[in-house]
Amino acid sequence: MQPFDIDKTDLQRLKAALDGDEAGLQQVLQQYHSSEIAILFDNLSPAERERIVNNLSAETASDVISSMDEEHHPAELLVNLTPEKRSEIVEELDYDDATDLISQLDESDQQEILDDLDHEDALAIRNLLTYDEDTAGGLMNTDLIKVNTSSTKNEALEAIIHQSEEMEEFYTLYAVNDAEELQGLLSIKDIIKAKKQVTVGELVNSDFVYVKADLDQEEVAKLFSQYNLTSIPVVDDRMKLLGRITVDDIIDVLEEENTEDILKISGVSEDEELSGGWQDAIKSRLPWLVINLATAFLAASVIRSYEDTAKKLPIISAYMIIIAGMGGNAATQALAVTVRRISLSDLSDKQAYVTVVKEFLVGMVNGAATGLIVFVVALLYDSNPMLGLVMFLAMTGNLIVAGVTGASIPLLLKRLGIDPAVASSIIITTFTDCVGFLMPLWLATKLLL
């Protein structure tokens, strides 16, 4: 199956169906997968989305709503449905997906939806709402299959069949004792192959990875990647089994975290929605631009302090722009690599040192190579070998500074407990701009005047 891309034909077909009767609309909707309908929703009004959901089965509608982009506010769509339709859809959702949706609503809407649900479903969702959404507890689903360690083979199979009736899929079985404390993992294959008199306790794999409910979602994602997991159990401080996190939830986490880091490095608040309006974009970006303006004034003050040199050697202004710009690009490269390394794993002191030394060497070699090009340009076009030497030294020095700051600043911020993706870019830009102007002006003052 190829990835679904919206084209005019799909939209025209759906729009035409929306202009017709319910039977025609249902016929058109049957041609699309639930995830494809969610993509088509990007181009529809809230009223059109609501009508489509009302013409879908509860099972399909739940899949569509859970697949919708969060920026299109699927929870609000849920609120606008009739209580009966809404309850049917929520009860079809996995508890973790239902919790994610309901958590986006205000307290009164949450209460209204939960009051209409089956008592067991409402209780499970209320419990999940108590956890921070960015933690393992906020990611977990309480639907799982657990078997008592004292159970025989037949008892275990009966328990599995009974508990899996309303589950679409399960990756792992969990063995617990009478106190519901997690003892280990089970393989359905081992249970099927076991002799009748064997108990679950004899089949348990006690070497397993688990997480506490308050662990940050980024750390959970690292465990999935490190151990190639498809699911992971969530426990409390007494090892009581609370739920499980599956790999599909982690894919969403990785997408969210990567988007967040990209926006932060670019000086854009994570609160700005990718499809938001211009007012939201201004609100999100203007504060960072004001901070950047302040750092630009700092760089400009460097030029002011060498005003006489700039007047006597006006050509140097053109070269300064090149050197500062190259420093900014080199710093951005070092920053991106370092922030990514930090996000994948906490670097030890030795690893941090090696990272900085590597960027120093990269900056020195790249600076010398690009500085040599600038030297040749100054020699050919300006017939001034000393000017070329000044620019060679300035370029080399600024790219060394760019590499070292691009690596060391995020590492230092991480040690101080500050998110390196947020503050690094502005600090590093200030360094490379100031040094990019200072070095050629200072060297020119010393060597050319």
pLDDT tens track for 316-329: 888 988 999 999 89
pLDDT tens track for 223-238: 998 898 989 999 999 9
Q: Two tokens at 261? A: 């880091």
Q: Do 419 and 263 meet the contact criterion of CB atoms below 8 Å apart?
A: no
pTM: 0.65
Q: Does domain 278-447 have CATH number 3.40.50.720?
A: no
Provide the pLDDT for residue 273.
53
Provide the pLDDT for residue 255.
74
| β-bridge partners, 246 | 231
**In whole angstroms, what is the distance from residue 147 CA to residue 170 CA?**
14
Indicate the fold that domain 146-247 takes in CATH. Answer: CBS-domain (3.10.580)
DSSP codes joined into one string, 148-188: ETT-BHHHHHHHHHHHTTT-S--S-EEEE-TT-BEEEEE-H
Rg (CA), the chain: 30
User: Measured between alpha carbons, how far is residue 30 from residues 7, 24, 109, 146, 311 in Å?
Assistant: 18, 10, 31, 37, 74
Residue of 444 and 263 predicted with greater confidence: 444
The mean pLDDT value for 334-360 works out to: 84
**In whole angstroms, what is the distance from residue 402 CA to residue 330 CA?**
6
**Is the Cα dihedral 78, 79, 82, 87 positive or negative?**
positive
Provide the pLDDT for residue 197.
86
Residue of 175 and 424 predicted with greater confidence: 175
Query: How sure is the predictor about 314, in pLDDT bands with cuts at 50, 70 and 90?
Result: confident
User: Measured between alpha carbons, how far is residue 327 from residues 184, 395, 397 in Å?
Assistant: 53, 8, 9
Indicate the fold that domain 8-130 takes in CATH. Answer: MgtE N-terminal fold (1.25.60)
End-to-end CA distance of the chain: 70
Among the listed residues 400, 270, 269, 289, the one whose alpha carbon sits nearest the alpha carbon of residue 334: 400
Provide the pLDDT for residue 8.
76
The mean pLDDT value for 372-377 works out to: 94
**Is the Cα dihedral 323, 326, 330, 336 positive or negative?**
positive
Q: Locate the domains of the chain by residue range.
A: 8-130, 146-247, 278-447
Among the listed residues 194, 193, 242, 197, the one whose alpha carbon sits nearest the alpha carbon of residue 215: 242
Would you say residue 274 has pLDDT above 70? Answer: no
pLDDT tens track for 146-158: 999 999 999 999 9
User: Measured between alpha carbons, how far is residue 200 from residues 12, 143, 167, 230, 351 in Å?
Assistant: 57, 20, 22, 22, 44
Q: Do 371 and 396 meet the contact criterion of CB atoms below 8 Å apart?
A: yes
